[in-house]
Amino acid sequence: MSGDSDEDEGRAVASSTISPPLDWKFSQVFGERMVGEEVQEVDIISAIEFDKSGDHLATGDRGGRVVLFERTDARTHGSRKDLERQDYQFSRHAEFRYKTEFQSHEPEFDYLKSLEIEEKINKVRWCQAANGALFLLSTNDKTIKYWKVQEKKVKQVSEMNLDASMIVGNGCNGTSTTSGPRLGLSNGCARSNFNYLSNDLSFPPGGFPSLRLPVVTSQEKSLVARCGRIYAHAHDYHINSISNNSDGETFISADDLRINLWNLEISTQSFNIVDVKPTNMEDLTGI
């Protein structure tokens, strides 16, 4: 009897932890949309990619923006690879939250070819992460960019001044300063908050008991996206695909007729490894 009760209790707990089935709806933009609401073309998602671990998701849109998401439920239950090794039964749906976004590409105009180059993101590919930073490639029709997304501390310098009641001014009509430090006085008594040791000020007997030196403080962290490399002028036709190699150092980019090999550290040169462009472009339809 006790075994049956334990089994029933286990089933009840399992049924309570299993999430209800998802209601799938097609959407190519973020956020909820009202019925009949017009969708801006720049908000339409044009590229999407999971990283190797499945904990991060990158999307690109027609407006040239890249938006990153981070999985939240993985922290509670461990990584998906570890759970699969333990034959864990997934009862919860993956949950992702907004991480950061940045403007990857801007619209350009090729004056030599009289060609408008859209900012639309064609592909996004994740690279190997290192030192707590995320790396990824993004491309529009002509230019590939290598991005580094890293969490940095926002540094602030605490206020540096002396106790205003202890400051004695020799060049300020012989009166002591009681209203705190001021900027730009006509007689040059205190030109800045950092100029208290000028010749116009004297130290009181015994010195200043409340001298405060500047201290760098960090109160919060923010994600910063920085473009490390720009790979351009290597494709005559629109880039439609990029792919990372397993060595973590090179990648390939492809247009309709050519495939180029790049080194992540070298943005000025690429190697053409496939070229199916015919001598006579009229023969292109026969390829």
Q: Residue 286 above 90 pLDDT?
A: no
Q: Residue 71 above 80 pLDDT?
A: yes
First to last CA, the chain: 74
pTM greater than 0.75 = no
220-255 pLDDT, tens digit each: 778 899 999 999 999 989 999 999 999 999 999 999
pLDDT grade for 154, boundaries at 50, 70 and 90: confident
203-218 pLDDT, tens digit each: 667 766 666 677 777 6
Residue 60 in contact with residue 104, Cβ under 8 Å? Answer: yes
Q: Residue 184 above 50 pLDDT?
A: no
Three-class SS state of 230: strand
Q: What is the pLDDT of residue 200?
A: 54
- Residue at token pair 């006509």: 186
155-172 pLDDT, tens digit each: 777 665 554 454 444 444
Distance CA 78, CA 74 (A): 5
User: Range with the lowest mean pLDDT among 29-38, 69-78, 193-202, 214-223?
Assistant: 193-202
Residue 268 has, within 13 A of its CA and on its CB side, a CA count of 0
How big is the chain by its Cα radius of gyration, in Å? 30
Give the max Cα distance, the chain: 97
Residue 157 in contact with residue 171, Cβ under 8 Å? Answer: no
